[in-house]
Amino acid sequence: MSRTTRRLLLGAAGLAGLSVPGLPRAARAQSWPSRPVRLIVPLVPGGTTDLIARVIADPLSKLIGGNVVVENRPGANGWIANDYVMRERPDGHTLIVNNVSTHAINSAMAGPDRALVPSRGLAPITNLIEAPQFFLAPADFPATSLSDFVARAKASSRPLVYASAGVGSYQHIDLETFARRAGISLVHLPLRGAGEIVPVLLRGDAQITEFNVSAAAPHIEAGRMRPLAVVARGRLSAYPDTPTTVEAGFPDLVTTLWNGLFAPAGTPAPLIATLHRHVVAILRDPDVVAALDRQAVRTTPSDSPEAFGSYLAEDVARWSALTHEFNIQLN
């Protein structure tokens, strides 16, 4: 477990005394929750999606008066976990924390014959966080900028490798976009989640990846990784000398990683509203906001489940256009 992860989990543990209005006493006497609520993470431990699930689990347990248990079910870029949750009873005892890849991109790539699709099989509750991304290279790879990387890729006798969290992940599509726009050929190394990217890059098995700033920071500070660009329109105050992808000549590479909370479709609206209220309260707690902000992670709770649903529809449409452009399909 990284120092970043430990710091945030310790911050979450400190929320035991969080003073947030909970359920009315009569509601607590009802049947939910009648057993532990499982918070499914569709990726391996160590990434942002796993982290935010663990940050909210403990305070949510206290607010609902029952245990909330984080459970990792990685594989197939989130499809294993999503298929599982979409088949669960819509009674509030099984939830999932998805991200832009495991929800929006998977929904965009799903063919008409696929019965279960996150955009239809899951009920949105709220957005959770947004995190800026870096294009990164190992420190021992000589490129110091995106233009330098492009030049070295063109001069290389064999294609360079990019690592992603899996086929259809935002890293996959963004780095494919980068390669196509730059006119270079890169080999895709798909993994089981963002938690596997760091060791792959440090071993030199890949020469470039896209990774969130908070998780990359310790490796950049230790001199193990080098940021080539911020995947955004504006520079980061903590890294003022790192140019953006837009400045580097890639205006359509502006992805921000988001994480959101979902329940199986058909979960009663009053239960969705209760979960929304509690999770938004957690995300607005000053201790949580401050702890995440220090790691360049911004809490972004939705005004309502319906507002989150509208945001998701727009995001699915955006990724649908890109996956069709590059003919990226599910395996």
208 and 278 in a single domain? The answer is no
Do 175 and 268 have their domain in common?
no
Q: What does the pLDDT look like over 159-184, one tens digit per residue?
A: 999 999 888 889 999 999 999 999 99
- In the prediction, which pLDDT does 322 show? 85
pTM: 0.80
In this structure, are 120 and 145 located in the same domain? no
pLDDT confidence of residue 176: 93
Which of 91, 10, 12, 9 has its CA nearest to residue 275? 91
Contact call for residues 133 and 229 (beta carbons, < 8 A): no
Rounded to an integer, what distance in angstroms lies between the CA atom of residue 99 and that of residue 260?
6
Cα separation, 259 vs 130, in Å, equals: 7
Q: Please indicate, yes or no, if residue 250 is contained in any of the structural domains.
A: no
Residue 277 belongs to domain spanning: 3-130+257-326
> Is residue 172 assigned to a domain?
yes
164 and 137 both lie in a single domain: yes
pLDDT at 106: 92
Number of folded domains in the chain? 2
Residue 330 pLDDT: 62
Q: How far is CA 40 from the centre of its chain?
A: 13
Read off the CATH number of the domain in which 321 is found: 3.40.190.150
CATH of the domain at 202: 3.40.190.10
For the chain, which ranges sit under pLDDT 70? 1-30, 329-331
How high is the pLDDT of residue 30?
56
